[in-house]
Amino acid sequence: MNTNKNLDLGKIREKIDKLDSQLVELLEERLEIVQQVAQFKKQTGKKIFDEEREKEVVKKNLKRVKNKELNHYIELILKDIMDSSKEYQKFKIGISTKYVNDLNLENKKLGYTGVPGSYAYEVLMNILKNNKNLDIDSIEENENIFHFNSHRDLVEAVHTRKIDIGILPIENSIVGEVRDSIDLINTKNIHIIGEVRHKISHNLLGVKGSKIEDIKNIYSHEQAFMQCSQFLSKHEWHLNRMTNTAISGKYIAAEGKKENACIANIKTKEVYGLELLKKNINNEEENYTRFFIISNENVVIDGSDKISIVTSANNESGALIGLLQIFYKYGLNMVNLKSRPRVNKPWEYYFYIDFEGNMASEKVKMALEEMREKSNYLQILGNYKLYNLEIYSN
């Protein structure tokens, strides 16, 4: 390391300016080639995000770094360059939207998190049973229905087209957002095509013949623990986090121990032959979870009046306010705003926003175009409708 005290800061900055000038020329040349990539993907229908290709680019270029102390920083720069390239590809390809009359579920591969008896399973069953084009009697035996242990696995299956449509919880009315869901949608080729609000009624379930006095261990999802915290605070039970409420029911049924109980819905009791120990143990009676219907196709269904985006403001004073004022300028009603940390960017955030509108509207198009110009990142997650479903209990 050069420790010469006679270093001239002005001359050092001249060298940096010269390198920056060369970098700008190279980046401009790279983006011109990226434009050709975008045209190819548009013609062939290939997806913009290719995770394996990105890993390959990073790995290949890190081998070229002579000073290995710089690997971490060069990796961050490479990832920033690729993120910018993806944004530019989206801009050049444009929004390829398919407008349809109704949600088409016929012959589609469908997925949810958990196992039969989970709330996501209930939502999926009700979506299917409310669809007039399907045979209600054979829905639960549908071979095109798949379950996944985690939200990540579900989103990955939609992203890689192993399934066509998934049911993903996004937010609870009591404890707030399901933390990983927005992040997962944002990083994959996923589109929100519908929303369902499902009432959540938690129950304490045990194995056959058990009583509350027998219980020592409670199994459930962390959201269920939070939503039932007042009831749980009255007991000295050991809480064991599971990936899903219904999976916890399946687990205690398999273990067959009277000291184990779970928090889940009544459907879980029926599916796994459990005992109802205490009904409706939510902190609040009015307990709802929003579920997104996600797809690998960018579909907008008739009646869609809600749009979800993620964006990131420039790191300067008033930048976020400037973005939010765009909604006021175009008369758009913003109904939700949340911040989420950016991966590998300490103390930097992106913003998840829901607002009312339809992508075919001129004022929506103008607002999004202005937002793209004033932000350093913009991703449209979907334009969708809220489904008010008739609830089927069986």
Residue set of the binding site:
13, 30, 41, 50, 54, 85, 89
Question: Residue 174 has which token pair?
Answer: 């009591």
Rounded to whole angstroms, how far apart are CA atoms 130 and 254?
33
CB 210 within 8 A of CB 258: yes
β 238-241/217-220 pair status? parallel
- Which residue is it, tokens 């990936």? 243
Distance between terminal CA atoms of the chain? 73
3-class DSSP state of 342: coil
Q: Which helix (H) or strand (E) holds 99?
A: strand 98-100
- Residue-level length of the chain: 394
Question: Residue 89 has which token pair?
Answer: 């590809």
Question: Residue 379 has which token pair?
Answer: 């991703």
- Helix ranges (H only) for 188-308 are 222-227, 229-232, 245-255, 266-272
Q: What share of the chain is helix, strand, coil (3-state, %, to 5)?
A: 40, 25, 35
Whether the CA torsion 140, 145, 149, 151 is positive or negative: it is negative
Sequence ranges of the binding site for substrate: 13, 30, 41, 50, 54, 85, 89
- Helix ranges (H only) for 204-299 are 222-227, 229-232, 245-255, 266-272
3-class DSSP state of 148: strand
Rounded to whole angstroms, how far apart are CA atoms 291 and 179?
13
CB 224 within 8 A of CB 268: no
DSSP 355: E
In sequence order, which residues have a C-beta less than 8 Å from that of residue 284 and are 6 or more positions away? 173, 174, 227
Residue 382: strand pairing partners: 308
